[in-house]
Amino acid sequence: MSAKIIDGKAIAAQVNDETAAEVAALIAQRNLQPGLAVVLIGENPASQVYVGMKVKKCAELGIYSEKVVLPKDATMAEVLALIERLNHDPKIHGILVQSPPPPQIDEEKIIEAISPAKDVDCFHALNVGKMLTGRRDGFFPCTPYGVMVMLERSGVDPAGKHAVILGRSNIVGKPMMALLVQKGKGADATVTVIHSRTKNIAEYTRQADILIAAIGKPEFVTADMIKPGAVVIDVGINRVEDPASGKGYKLVGDVKYGEVAAKAAMISPVPGGVGPMTIAMLMQNTVKACKMISASRMG
């Protein structure tokens, strides 16, 4: 058996087309253009790439964007002053501070300073709480939201299935758990979360109908760890040394792709899987933020 590839790039392109149409309609009918501020503190090379991709996608979809780069020795006061300015900027509906920030920056304080109405990452405790309680007037975090849309548009219904999540991060593992276990269409899974202190990891992963790998360990999931016919979603993006490549490194996921693809029913590749979906959902969240902010101003 060879797995069907879940083409995140193609699904993201569909979502992006829909977003572009929504943006065009908002501009034409209501003279309202969604706007996103992307903040980068320091010079982390991977973060620079991600921030560049987010700003470029905004331009492609007709979303206004501002990229703000602060030096790696920026102070908390400087970052908080910037957030305060963006919170009050009427052109900006979404604010994203690229993670991880440099060590002198208290990320939690920064997240809590972002207006919940503009928290398109869904990192603020208020929005995390709304997500957990199944409310629709907040946001879903971009990567887990992207995985949900990938499953839905690939015809995978999680209802009654055993979804096993590798990783318990605040960005992916924990919100992924909340979205999959949620009552309702496209969710309703039975969920197990695996982490670094879990004993006998493979015992759990072998029971997974849907396996979501988000632990940041290159090629951690091997064929012997999965059930034949499983759906495997690889959230990992790891740089590993590769002297043969011009850059000196290559990108691999948390899943040993070749051998797992031979056993799974469906698999998402890296790159071209979850990555493009994360950005597509960020754009969707920015449009949602714009609509909600505009509705609250009118109300």
The site for ligand GUN (CB under 6 A) is made up of: 96-99, 121, 142-143, 171, 278
Give the strand pairing for 238-241 and 249-252: antiparallel
Comparison of 209 and 276: residue with beta carbon closer to ligand GUN: 276
The dihedral over CA atoms of 108, 133, 267, 240, expressed in degrees to the nearest 10, equals 10
Examine the residue annotation and report whether 98 is marked as an active-site residue of this protein.
Answer: yes
**CB burial of residue 93 (10 Å; 0-12, 13-18, 19+):** buried
Minimum CB separation of residue 96 from ligand GUN in Å reads 5
Comparison of 98 and 127: residue with beta carbon closer to ligand GUN: 98
Comparison of 118 and 161: residue with beta carbon closer to ligand GUN: 118
Comparison of 30 and 109: residue with beta carbon closer to ligand GUN: 109
Examine the residue annotation and report whether 121 is marked as an active-site residue of this protein.
Answer: yes
* Catalytic position from the list 57, 98, 182, 256: 98
As a whole number of angstroms, the distance between CA 106 and CA 110 comes to 7
As a whole number of angstroms, the distance between CA 229 and CA 51 comes to 36
Q: Of 54, 24, 56, which Cα lies nearest the Cα of 281?
A: 54
* Catalytic position from the list 54, 57, 130, 256: 54
Examine the residue annotation and report whether 54 is marked as an active-site residue of this protein.
Answer: yes
Minimum CB separation of residue 115 from ligand GUN in Å reads 15
Minimum CB separation of residue 50 from ligand GUN in Å reads 6
Instruction: Provide the H-helix boundaries in the chain.
Output: 8-30, 45-61, 76-87, 107-113, 125-132, 142-153, 173-181, 201-205, 257-261, 274-298
Half-sphere exposure of 286 (CA within 13 A, CB side): 34
Minimum CB separation of residue 285 from ligand GUN in Å reads 10
As a whole number of angstroms, the distance between CA 104 and CA 106 comes to 7
Minimum CB separation of residue 273 from ligand GUN in Å reads 14
* Catalytic position from the list 121, 209, 234, 254: 121
Comparison of 16 and 205: residue with beta carbon closer to ligand GUN: 16
Q: How far is the CA of 63 from the CAs of 23, 56, 219, in angstroms?
A: 7, 10, 36
| Residue with nearest beta carbon to ligand GUN | 99
Which residues are annotated as catalytic? 54, 98, 121
